[in-house]
Amino acid sequence: MRLPRDISGEDLARRLRSYGYEITRQTGSHIRLTTQIRGEHHLTIPNHKDLRVGTLAAILADVADHMGMSKEEVIQPLFP
So what's the pLDDT on residue 1?
74
* Closest to 43 measured CA to CA, from 53, 33, 57: 33
8-60 tens-digit pLDDT? 999 999 999 999 999 999 999 999 999 999 999 999 999 999 999 999 999 99
Name, in order, each residue with C-beta under 8 angstroms of 11's C-beta and a sequence gap of 6 or more: none
Please give the Cα distance from 49 to 37 (Å, whole number).
Answer: 28
Report all structural domains of the chain as residue ranges with CATH numbers, in order of start.
9-74 (3.30.920.30)
For residue 40, CA distances in Å to 22, 62, 66, 79 come to 12, 13, 9, 24
Contacts 24+ apart (CB under 8 A), 67-71: 67/19, 67/37, 67/38, 68/38
